[in-house]
Amino acid sequence: MTIKQVSEKYQVSEDTLRYYEKIGVLRPVPRKNGIRCYGQRELDNIEFVLCMRAAGLSVETLERYMQLFEMGDSTAEQRRQILIDQRNSLVKKLEQMQEALKRLDYKIDVYYTEILDKEKKMLRKGDEK
């Protein structure tokens, strides 16, 4: 696949893909006549990176993770800890979002329903006169 095809497939800009490759978040992509040729290995790597970014991992942390990955199995515990830390952070954010969702549901289902019901009753009383 070309960079344009990958960009369209994953909804990420070509500039972002080039940047990630430049800083080492993505491994260097093989080229044919100077054109990047993405294979399954590169696509798997992109999917991982995009998943980690969606989970909130910073670019700097991803850089560190990939540096450790390139060093081999001796860094497995460090890489594991990065993922554990991010998971814990994500769980906390999820809890905060669930609390926010409860508050929104309350406002929508209770608070504003009561206000709108009162308003409707007042309008009906006005119509009866």
- Give the residue extent of every domain in the chain: 3-71
pLDDT digits (tens, 9 = 90+) for 27-82: 999 999 999 999 999 999 999 999 999 999 999 999 999 999 999 999 999 999 99
What span, in angstroms and rounded, lies between the C-alpha atoms of 26 and 46? Answer: 7
User: Quick check: pTM over 0.85?
Assistant: no
> What CATH number belongs to 3-71?
1.10.1660.10
Rounded to 5 degrees, what are φ and ψ at 2? -85, 170
According to the model, what pLDDT value does residue 129 have? 60
pLDDT digits (tens, 9 = 90+) for 92-117: 999 999 999 999 999 988 878 888 88
